[in-house]
């Protein structure tokens, strides 16, 4: 490993084709922030159409014919919003950025186990992202069959779908490279004395997440290639015989099954939900333990529950398919497993919650985001219950209720955890704390407006308004009574956009701020190795001057009789 | 036709054409006019109630913790790892409490409802059978003729976007498309089923009131998915018979308007009825 020697590196090998896990983590972080903003912008444009149908879209209207989104364009934006937010925004952020930057530092390793693989993972991801963005400019626009790409619609869609599949193959490959790297790093490169029982929960969460990625993504990669063959090579893996589209017989051999795609897709996409949420829980656990000045309550229970959650997440996928007619036995099995998977989630959440009990709670910006995560993720989880049952899902499936449910899990859930993590680890990465005042403005307005966006979706969904309607439901009389919420939701969405401006200002202001002297390596008085044994920012390639040796568990806060209210893991 | 024209037409239509259980803004599904829809509403209501209860407890406790245990001079945190046997038991108990009061109850209700209603397909003479063939972007409905058999020469001419059923009579539909996936959704009946090419799905329901209700497509099926709308008319028995015979009078099925035999495009759709299990 070329890690310990501090030889001179050229600009390109240091900042562009870097093999240093810290710089790759930063590359991942910045790229995924840009994509998160892009995906959010798509949604802000769509929300204009839903709130004020039939009027020209301000600011960006000139890009579209008639100044409005055509139904095809609306479907494109919807599909790409989902794809970008999940595969180009949140997963690269929680696994690529947080995992890459923090896992080696928290386990006392000089770098990832395979630095070149790590670099390849980032560049494959970026290639996937560029391909996805490029797809907006091909004839017919970007993929418009939903982020789920159900065939036969996706098989007969415009060129954008082909580009989407190419992009997905790149993104999946990138995730596979990254997650294998994290598994090997955690297994092989833990510092001396850092036993499995002493790992910070964040590392455990990354470990379970990486297994989910390694095991769940290959089926989708295979399915993606099969759909690509259907589109390009004339196969019909997902096309049954006798298809007639628009009065024309489709010239395919047939014999395939559209349901097969749904099984393969959801076999990835349900574990994917836990890929989004487990690292977020890891981030929140670190921040809550640190800011309550208490050990994480029930560490072993949480670790056990997260492993259990990981296993269970592989046998719940078909609860997305209750109304497809896949069979009664299947429905019964999957609704039962779906009910069981709620137990480990409840255990993790209540352990985090009980950690507050008897603490000494500091209310800094990362802690506020972490605290808000608990009830917000709670709403997301609880509203999932009626969706997990075959009968209630009959009414709620594919309505706005579903959209509200999973956005509560991912937006005020995972994305709040991402913000918490950014505010928390920013001083480690740059040596400077983000401004607290701007941070709190960012937090409170985000919390208010994000609920304004998603709460009314439950009301619309219960009323039976379907998702993916280019006019938001204006065509349907049964939706008429709840459509007045659209304006409220859109206003909230745009104000949520405005509420991100303090964050952007804060981000750049802090980066360019000049500070004299050496930065405090441990501004939050934390116990874990990345704070106690490195400088801020950590040294170049290699991280540690002296290899750390671990003597105790990760959350030794407020130990009776100790001189300070925290004892670092590496203190004898 | 451009988009704005479409919009303005739809707006006028939706305001004048149908009078449904719209206008509801609180947490309630639209008016239920089916025999078994109440079952779904019951489970939703139970779940809503109990999750609000638990969520309320969590929010109250959290507010209390956040105020009581805030950092202030002279206050220190308790060192409690929560790893003792007692704590593990408490954790498991909490998990089990939520599991028993929510999951087991609603799973039980769901199981009962599936067995007693949704999967108990009615059989017998009085059952009305309809075959449905959704296409981009319309609903086609086929009724058997006097022989009661489908896919025979005396089937009625399929209707488009107009479905008629008699009130207080079990209705079984079988649905299969030839193009892409659609989903047959009647919000006022709490019924929905996917229509997937290559397979025939079965669904049953029973109306308790006469009137006109909307059939919506719930699965993205292309650019005009948002206006793929049908109308379900629930008639009294006399009206239904009258409507059936008026359909009958139109004679033998002729060529469908979306086919051409020379190109090998089927001019006839339908399948012989498959008894549900």
The string of pLDDT tens digits covering residues A284-311 is 999 999 999 999 999 999 999 999 999 9
pLDDT for position A8? 65
Q: In which band, very low, low, confident or very high, does the pLDDT at B22 lie, cut at 50, 70 and 90?
A: very low
- Do A56 and A68 meet the contact criterion of CB atoms below 8 Å apart? yes
Q: What interhelical angle do A436-462 and A365-382 show, nearest 10?
A: 10
Q: Is pLDDT of A145 > 80?
A: yes
Q: Which residues pair with B207 in a beta bridge?
A: B34
What does the DSSP 8-state code read for residue A191?
Answer: P
Is residue B217 within 8 angstroms of chain A, CB to CB? yes
- Considering CB atoms only, which of B44, B99, B202 is closest to A386? B44
Q: Which residues of A touch B185 (CB under 8 A)?
A: 398, 464, 466
Choose the mutation target among B66, B68, B226 for the interface with A, i.e. most A CBs under 10 Å.
B226
Where is mean pLDDT largest: A81-85, A459-463, B3-7, B20-24?
Answer: A81-85
Say which of B51, B79, B96 has its CB closest to residue A558.
B79
A323 with B71: Cβ contact below 8 A: no
Give pLDDT, residue A1.
41
Residues in chain B with CB shorter than 8 Å from the CB of A341 are: none
Confidence of residue B9 (pLDDT cuts 50, 70, 90): very low
The Cα of A501 is separated from the nearest Cα of chain B by a number of Å equal to: 28
Helix (H), strand (E) at residue B83: none
Continuous segment of H or E residues that includes residue B238: helix B237-248
Q: Is the Cβ–Cβ distance between A92 and A125 less than 8 Å?
A: yes
Establish whether the linkage from the previous residue to A498 is cis, with ω within 30° of 0: no
Instruction: Answer whether B76 touches A (CB < 8 Å).
Output: yes
B94–A346 CB contact, under 8 Å: yes
Cβ distance A295 to B81 less than 8 Å, yes or no, reads: yes
Hey, is the C-beta of A242 within 8 angstroms of any chain B C-beta?
A: yes
Judging contacts by C-beta atoms under 8 Å, the chain B residues touching residue A481 are 21-25
pLDDT at B10: 38
Ranges A174-188, A192-206, A421-435, B36-50: which has the least confidence: B36-50
In chain B, where the domains are located: 37-118, 128-251
Identify which has the larger pLDDT, A217 or B266: A217
Q: In the prediction, which pLDDT does A249 show?
A: 86
Cβ contact, residue pair A156, B24, below 8 Å? no
For residues A143 and A161, the answer to whether their CB atoms sit within 8 Å is yes
CB-CB neighbors (< 8 A) of A295 in chain B? 79-82
Picking from B65, B71, B225, the nearest residue to A357 by CB comes out as B65
**CATH for the stretch B128-251:** 2.60.40.420
Chain A contact for B57 (CB, 8 A cutoff)? no
Cβ–Cβ contact B226 with A under 8 A: yes
Residue B82 is nearest to which of A342, A351, A470, comparing CB atoms? Answer: A351
Is A360 in Cβ contact with B192 (below 8 Å)? Answer: no
Q: Are A356 and B59 in contact (CB under 8 A)?
A: no
Buried b (16+ CB within 10 A) or exposed e, B206-230: bbeebbebbbbbbbbbbbbbbbbbb
Residue carrying the six token digits 């994000």? A450
- CA of B247, closest CA in chain A: separation in Å? 25
Question: pLDDT > 70: what percent of chain B?
Answer: 82
Q: Express each pLDDT in B203-228 by its tens digit.
A: 999 999 999 999 999 999 999 999 99
What integer pLDDT is reported at residue A271 of this predicted model?
94
A361 touches chain B (CB under 8 A): yes
Q: What is the mean pLDDT of residues A156-164?
A: 95
- Which residue out of B13, B118, B194, B204 would a mutagenesis test of the A interface target, given it has the greatest number of A Cβ atoms within 10 Å? B194
DSSP state of B116: I
- Cβ–Cβ of B79/A294 closer than 8 Å? yes
DSSP A96: I
**What is the pLDDT confidence band of residue B16, given thresholds at 50, 70 and 90?**
very low
Residue A234, Ramachandran bin (φ over 0: left; ψ between -120 and 50: alpha; else beta): left
Nearest by CB: A298 against B54, B91, B104: B91
Q: What's the 3-state SS for A21-45?
A: HHHHHHHHHHHHHHHHHHHHHHHHH
Contact B40 A392 (CB under 8 A): yes
pTM of the predicted model as reported, rounded to 2 decimal places: 0.92
Best CA proximity match to A476, nearest among B105, B37, B241, B212: B212
Residues B126-131 have a mean pLDDT of 93
pLDDT of residue B19: 31
Distance CA A535, CA A519 (A): 8
- Picking from A512, A511, A513, A496, the residue whose alpha carbon sits closest to that of residue A36 is A496
pLDDT 10s digits, B35-47: 999 999 889 888 8
Contact with chain B for residue A301, Cβ under 8 A: yes
Which of B:120-149 have CB within 8 Å of A? 136
Distance in angstroms (rounded) separating the CA atoms of residues A519 and A271: 40
In angstroms, the separation between the Cα of residue B200 and the nearest Cα of chain A is 8
**Winning range, highest mean pLDDT, from A171-180, B97-106, B250-259:** A171-180
Contact A358 B98 (CB under 8 A): no
User: How many alpha carbons lie under 13 Å from residue A510 in its C-beta half-sphere?
Assistant: 22
**pLDDT level of residue B158 (50, 70, 90 thresholds):** confident
Contact between B94 and A298 using a beta-carbon 8 Å cutoff: no
Q: What is the ipTM of this complex?
A: 0.91
Measured in angstroms, the CA of B95 and the nearest CA of chain A are apart by 5
The predicted-structure confidence for B188-198, as pLDDT tens digits, reads as follows 999 999 999 99
Token pair of B46 as six digits: 């139970």
Q: Which SS3 state, helix, strand or coil, does residue A548 take?
A: coil
Q: What sign has the CA pseudo-torsion B137, B138, B144, B145?
A: negative
B15 — pLDDT class (breaks 50, 70, 90): very low
Q: Which two tokens stand for residue A177?
A: 């490279």
Across the interface, whether the CB atoms of B14 and A144 are under 8 A apart is answered: no
Chain A residue numbers touching B27 (CB-CB < 8 A): 458-459, 462
Contact A146, A82 (CB under 8 A): yes
CA B61 to chain centre: 38
CB interface of B with A, residues 230-249, below 8 Å: none
pLDDT of B5 > 60? The answer is no
User: Of the candidates B23, B114, B220, which has its C-beta nearest A75's C-beta?
Assistant: B220
| C-alpha A503 chain-centroid distance | 19
Q: Is B66 close to A480, i.e. CB distance below 8 A?
A: no
**B223-261 pLDDT tens trace:** 999 999 999 999 999 999 999 888 865 545 454 444 444
When pLDDT is cut at 50, 70 and 90, the band that residue B23 belongs to is very low
In this prediction, residue B146 has a pLDDT band, given cuts at 50, 70 and 90, of confident
Instruction: Kindly state the tokens that stand for B245.
Output: 């015979």
User: Are A249 and B83 in contact (CB < 8 Å)?
Assistant: no
Paired residues of B265 in beta bridges = none
Residue A245, pLDDT above cutoff 70: yes
Domains and CATH numbers, chain A: 22-240+251-532 (1.20.210.10)
What is the average pLDDT across A413-428? 96
pLDDT at residue B177, rounded to an integer: 93
Indicate the residue of B2, B192, B222 with minimum beta-carbon distance to A395.
B192
Helices of type H across A199-341? 201-232, 258-292, 299-312, 328-340
Interchain pair B91, A301: CB under 8 A: yes
Share of chain A above pLDDT 90, in %: 85
Q: Does A214 touch chain B (CB under 8 A)?
A: no
Cβ proximity of B159 and B139 under 8 Å: no
Of A294, A400, A365, the closest CA to residue A510 belongs to A365
Residues of B in contact with A253 (CB under 8 A): none
Q: Do B218 and A559 touch (CB under 8 A)?
A: no
Tokens of A180: 């294998």
**Average pLDDT over chain A, rounded to an integer:** 93
In angstroms, the CA A524 to CA A478 distance is 53
B111 — pLDDT class (breaks 50, 70, 90): very high
Q: What is the mean pLDDT of residues A387-403?
A: 94
| Residue in A378, A398, A478 closest to B183 by CB | A398
Backbone φ and ψ for A530, nearest 5 degrees, come out as: -65, -25
Is there a contact between A269 and A221 (Cβ–Cβ < 8 Å)? no
What are the beta bridge partners of residue B234?
B165, B211
E-state strands within chain B: 128-135, 138-143, 159-160, 162-166, 170-175, 182-186, 191-195, 201-206, 211-217, 229-235
Cβ partners under 8 Å of residue B29, min gap 6: A395, A462, A463, A464, B40, B41, B44, B187, B190
- Give the residue from chain B lying closest to A398, CA to CA: B218
Residue B186 reports pLDDT greater than 70: yes
How many CB atoms within 10 Å of residue A44?
Answer: 17
- Interface A–B counts its CB contacts (< 8 A) at 351
Query: What torsion, rounded to 10 degrees, do the Cα atoms A455, A458, A459, A461 define?
Result: 140
pLDDT at residue B27 in the model: 60
């Amino acid at each position: 490993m070329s890690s310990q020697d501090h030889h001179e590196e050229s600009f390109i090998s240091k900042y562009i084709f870097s093999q240093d896990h810290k710089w790759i983590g930063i590359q991942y972080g910045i790229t995924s922030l840009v994509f998160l903003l892009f995906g959010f912008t798509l949604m802000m444009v769509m929300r204009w159409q839903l709130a004020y149908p039939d009027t020209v879209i301000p600011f960006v209207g000139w890009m579209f014919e008639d100044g409005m989104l055509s139904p095809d364009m609306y479907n494109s934006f919807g599909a790409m919003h989902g794809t970008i937010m999940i595969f180009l925004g949140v997963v690269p952020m929680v696994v690529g950025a947080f995992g890459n930057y923090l896992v080696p530092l928290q386990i006392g390793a000089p770098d990832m186990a395979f630095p070149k693989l790590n670099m390849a993972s980032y560049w494959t991801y970026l290639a996937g992202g560029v391909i996805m963005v490029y797809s907006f400019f091909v004839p017919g626009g970007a993929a418009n069959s939903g982020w789920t790409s159900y065939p036969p619609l996706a098989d007969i869609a415009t060129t954008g779908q082909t580009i989407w599949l190419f992009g997905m193959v790149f993104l999946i490959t990138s995730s596979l490279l990254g997650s294998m790297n994290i598994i090997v790093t955690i297994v092989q490169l833990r510092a001396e004395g850092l036993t499995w029982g002493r790992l910070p929960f964040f590392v455990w969460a990354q470990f379970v997440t990486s297994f989910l990625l390694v095991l769940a993504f290959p089926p989708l990669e295979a399915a993606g290639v099969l759909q690509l063959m259907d589109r390009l090579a004339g196969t019909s893996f997902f096309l049954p015989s006798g298809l007639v589209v628009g009065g024309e017989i489709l010239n395919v051999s047939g014999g395939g099954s559209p349901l097969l795609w749904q099984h393969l897709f959801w076999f990835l996409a349900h574990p994917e939900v836990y890929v989004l949420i487990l690292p977020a829980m890891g981030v929140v656990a670190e921040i809550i333990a640190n800011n309550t000045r208490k050990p994480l309550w029930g560490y072993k229970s949480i670790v056990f529950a997260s492993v259990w959650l990981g296993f269970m997440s592989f046998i719940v996928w078909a609860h997305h398919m209750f109304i497809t007619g896949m069979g009664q036995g299947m429905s019964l099995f999957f609704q039962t497993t779906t009910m069981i998977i709620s137990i480990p989630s409840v255990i993790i959440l209540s352990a985090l919650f009980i950690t507050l009990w008897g603490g000494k709670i500091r209310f800094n910006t990362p802690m506020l985001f972490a605290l808000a995560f608990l009830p917000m993720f709670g709403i997301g989880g609880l509203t999932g219950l009626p969706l997990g049952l075959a009968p209630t899902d009959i009414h709620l499936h594919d309505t706005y209720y579903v959209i509200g449910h999973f956005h509560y899990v991912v937006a005020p859930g995972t994305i709040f955890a991402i913000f918490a993590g950014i505010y928390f680890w920013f001083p480690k990465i740059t040596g400077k704390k983000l401004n607290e005042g701007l941070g709190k403005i960012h937090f409170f307005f985000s919390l208010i407006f994000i609920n304004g966006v998603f709460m009314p979706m439950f009301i619309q969904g219960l009323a039976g308004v379907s998702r993916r309607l280019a006019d938001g439901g204006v065509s349907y009389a049964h939706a008429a009574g709840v459509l007045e919420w659209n304006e409220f939701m859109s206003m909230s969405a745009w104000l949520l956009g405005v509420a991100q401006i303090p964050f952007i200002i804060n981000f750049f202001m802090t980066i360019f701020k000049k500070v004299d002297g050496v930065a405090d390596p441990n501004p939050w008085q934390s116990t874990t190795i990345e704070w106690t044994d490195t400088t801020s920012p950590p040294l170049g390639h290699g991280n540690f001057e002296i290899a750390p040796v671990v003597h105790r568990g990760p959350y030794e806060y407020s130990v009776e009789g100790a001189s300070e209210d925290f004892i670092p893991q590496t203190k004898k | 036709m451009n988009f704005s024209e479409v919009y303005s037409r739809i707006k006028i239509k939706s305001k004048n054409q149908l009078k449904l259980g719209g206008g509801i803004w609180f947490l309630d599904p639209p008016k239920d006019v089916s025999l078994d829809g109440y079952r779904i509403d019951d489970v939703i209501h139970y779940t809503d109630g109990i999750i609000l209860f638990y969520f309320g407890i969590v929010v109250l406790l959290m507010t209390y913790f956040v105020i009581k245990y805030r950092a202030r001079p002279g206050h220190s945190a308790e060192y409690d790892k929560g790893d003792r046997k007692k704590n593990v038991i408490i954790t498991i108990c909490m998990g089990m409490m939520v599991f028993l009061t929510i999951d087991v109850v609603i799973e039980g209700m769901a199981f009962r409802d599936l067995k007693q209603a949704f999967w108990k397909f009615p059989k017998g003479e009085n059952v009305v059978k309809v075959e449905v063939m959704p296409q981009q972007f319309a609903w086609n409905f086929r009724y058997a003729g006097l022989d009661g058999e489908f896919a025979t020469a005396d089937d009625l001419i399929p209707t488009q976007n107009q479905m008629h059923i008699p009130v207080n009579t079990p209705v079984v539909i079988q649905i299969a498309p030839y193009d892409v996936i659609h989903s047959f959704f009647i919000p006022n009946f709490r019924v929905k089923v996917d229509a997937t090419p290559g397979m025939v799905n079965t669904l049953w329901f029973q109306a308790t009131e006469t009137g006109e209700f909307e059939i919506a497509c719930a699965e993205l099926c292309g650019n005009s998915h948002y206006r793929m709308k049908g109308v379900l008319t629930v008639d009294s028995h006399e009206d239904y018979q009258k409507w059936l015979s008026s359909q009958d009078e139109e004679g033998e099925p002729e060529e469908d308007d979306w086919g051409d035999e020379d190109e090998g495009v089927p001019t006839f759709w339908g399948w012989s009825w498959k008894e549900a299990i």
